[in-house]
Amino acid sequence: QLSAMEMMAVDPLSFVIAPRFWATIICMPILVLIFMILAIYGGYLVGVVWLGVDSGAFWGNMQESVNFYADIVNGLLKAMIFGVV
């Protein structure tokens, strides 16, 4: 396909490769954010629903132990870099 595109004077880099590159840069952080939310919900499900931990204690410890910049922003930045790679 790439050779055929070159024969038709269409740049295969901008037509095939660039959209995939930008899609991974955009989609990887979104997927990581979705899975971070699912991980917190899974921890809530196991801790509060199955093990009977107090809901207030769970959220209090969650807010105390999760650092927004160190955990969430770093994870999203790593996902974006992984998308580039």
Q: What is the mean pLDDT of each run of 10 residues along the chain (85 residues)?
A: 81 83 90 94 95 93 89 90 87
pLDDT computed for residue 27 by the predictor: 92
pLDDT computed for residue 18 by the predictor: 85
pLDDT computed for residue 54 by the predictor: 94
pLDDT computed for residue 11 by the predictor: 83
pLDDT computed for residue 77 by the predictor: 92
Phi, psi of 47 (to 5 degrees): -70, -50
What gap in Å lies between CA 61 and CA 47, rounded to an integer? 12
